[in-house]
Amino acid sequence: MSSGAERPTWTSHLRRQVASMPPEKLLPDTQPVYVASWIYVFGALTIGAFIVVLLSGAVIAMAGPSWWHHSSFGHFINSTHLWSTEFFFAFMVIHLWGKFFMAAWRGRRRLTWVTGAVAFLISIPIAFTGYLSQQNFDSQWIGGQAKDGINATGAGAFFNVLNFGQMLLWHAVLLPLFVGLLIAGHVILVRRRGVVPPLPGKGGA
Amino acid sequence: MALLAALINLDGRPHYVQSGWFQISLANLIVVLVMIAVFALAVTLKFPGHEEPVAQEEVAGDE
Ligand code: HEM
């Protein structure tokens, strides 16, 4: 076994990837001047709201429907879960508008845009399966309405909106896991490429 | 809390705004308008702590 020479293995590939992201690049404490604008705060605000969503959701999932429907503290955490979701979507969409108007996919940042867009698209069924997980007449009614449309596509065989356990699994585990991984990849890509420079202005920036 | 709840009655019929084929609940319309307002403020308001002009070279792009 000779050492030193790079072999075309997945371990050496991964080692190079990790080495290209040292801690000072992953967690910088300075940024170019143009980043001093409120619009750049919205990605981090989205992460903050997402963390509150995860924590409040974990609490109500563990305590169960009778707690979140019948105790005042349960109501409070349930409401925290709803409102942090509202903020998550609002911050995410304002972030999207900002990145759209600065064409932030320029300079090999296409995948940053795509991971963000896919995270957005997956967040929508998280909200939908959340409405199905409420365990009240509202969620029963929504499930009853949704089943015919979904069964008509054939997906009802493995995605059954009347099955609370299955909907809660998608809502509380699988889909948030996908979005969490996408956000991690998204942020690593931003750190790797650096923040996109502003669009050239008319008559000099 | 009861005072706050009395301010917005959630038990009544929802309000809708309609223009031809386009219809939106008042609640959703308010959320959309607030989001647009927050976006406008984020783009126009000055970010604190950056009064002194910084060297222009830093702005140069990497395109
Ligand atoms: C799931 C929710 C999302 C989170 C948590 C998130 C988080 C972030 C963070 C922390 C940044 C760096 C700071 C900043 O510029 O704000 C960022 C940058 C970026 N985001 Fe997102 N984002 C999300 C969704 C999206 C969506 C929906 C899009 C567009 C479709 C998007 C497109 C971008 C782009 C293109 C950049 C890079 C900007 C640059 O290189 O300067 N993101 N995101």
> Comparing A65 with A7, which gets the higher pLDDT?
A65
Query: Within 13 Å, how many C-alpha atoms sit on residue A31's CB side?
Result: 16
Residue B63: which pLDDT band, with cuts at 50, 70 and 90?
Answer: very low
> Comparing B14 with A67, which gets the higher pLDDT?
A67
Residue B10: which pLDDT band, with cuts at 50, 70 and 90?
Answer: confident
The closest CB to that of B35, out of A34, A90, A197, belongs to A90
Domain coordinates in residue numbering, chain A = 36-193
> Comparing A87 with A25, which gets the higher pLDDT?
A87
Quote the ligand 1 centre to B59 CA distance (angstroms): 20
ipTM of the complex: 0.85
Interface contact flag, B35 A39, Cβ < 8 Å: no
Q: Is the pTM value of this prediction over 0.80?
A: yes
Residue B11 has pLDDT above 80, yes or no: no
Instruction: Give ligand 1 pocket residues (Cβ under 6 A).
Output: A 40, 42-44, 46-47, 50, 92, 95-96, 99, 104-105, 109, 112-113, 116-117, 119-120, 183, 186-187, 190, 193, 195-196
> Comparing A181 with B61, which gets the higher pLDDT?
A181
CATH class of A36-193: mainly alpha
The amino acid that residue A11 corresponds to is T
Helix (H, G, I), strand (E, B) or coil at B39: helix
Structure token digits, residue A29: 């404490």
Averaged pLDDT, A123-147: 95
Rounded Cα distance between A191 and B31, Å, is 32
User: Would you report the helix, strand and coil content of chain A in percent, each value rounded to 5?
Assistant: 75, 0, 25
Domain coordinates in residue numbering, chain B = 15-46
Cβ pair A85, A130 in contact under 8 A = yes
Residue A81 has pLDDT above 70, yes or no: yes
A98-114 pLDDT tens trace: 999 999 999 999 999 99
A24-44 pLDDT tens trace: 889 999 899 989 999 999 999
